Chains A and B, each alone.
Chain A
Amino acid sequence: MPCVLLGDCSVGIFSHSSVSVPVKDKKLLEVKLGELPSWILMRDFSPSGILGAFQRGYYRYYNKYINVRKGSISGITMVLACYVLFNYCISYKHLKHERLRKYH
């Protein structure tokens, strides 16, 4: 009977921070600094876990910038900029020798 009278207020009483989320399921920004090593160790590093992480990351970017009604050029340009940076990192070893220095 009291539950019916209270309505939604009863929900407010029970969703207290005494029922806390386990560390494994927290998002990165909600993990406290002391819990960080245990959070990293509890992540799923199996091949299917890594593949799932790539897939989630891809769809997160895709649904935010490309799959919108009026997508703009910035969605593609960000990808191309990352591609340029990636290639720079790969060829840094050869580019080191092309700097304008007196002694390499």
Chain B
Amino acid sequence: FSPVGKMFRPVVRLSTSGVRSLTRTRPCYSAPLASRCYSHAKVETDEEFDARWVTYFSKPDIDAWELKKGMNTLIGYDLVPEPKILDSALRACRRLNDLASAIRILEAVKDKSGPHKDIYPYLIQELQPTLIELGISTPEDLGMDIL
């Protein structure tokens, strides 16, 4: 388990009931009274989630719509994406010759961190090699982070 991944993402629990095994007619496979009956669906780990998204953006012939859809969906989740996902997305922007989207992605994750002001600098620090390689300026460099 990567502690960094845990830092960014709340644990999603698929709980269906509380501690009321006496009145429940649904079979609880663990006998003790204090057990909880979670659904038996498999919970995706943080690594699996990250890997899935990195793979999504790594598609060599990704098209503009897929990039938009992926990014909008990712921003819709209750988490700030890991640097490796963002790296993959920025490279997708490069393949699509779309600098504006790359800068927009950086703005979006900064906004996504909300009150946690230390997340964005960390992300930029991790992404620095990619940003330099691809020539992406951060919104701060361009003076777009202030009104």
The answer on A and B forming one complex is no
A contact set with B: CB distance below 8 Å:
none
B contact set with A: CB distance below 8 Å:
none
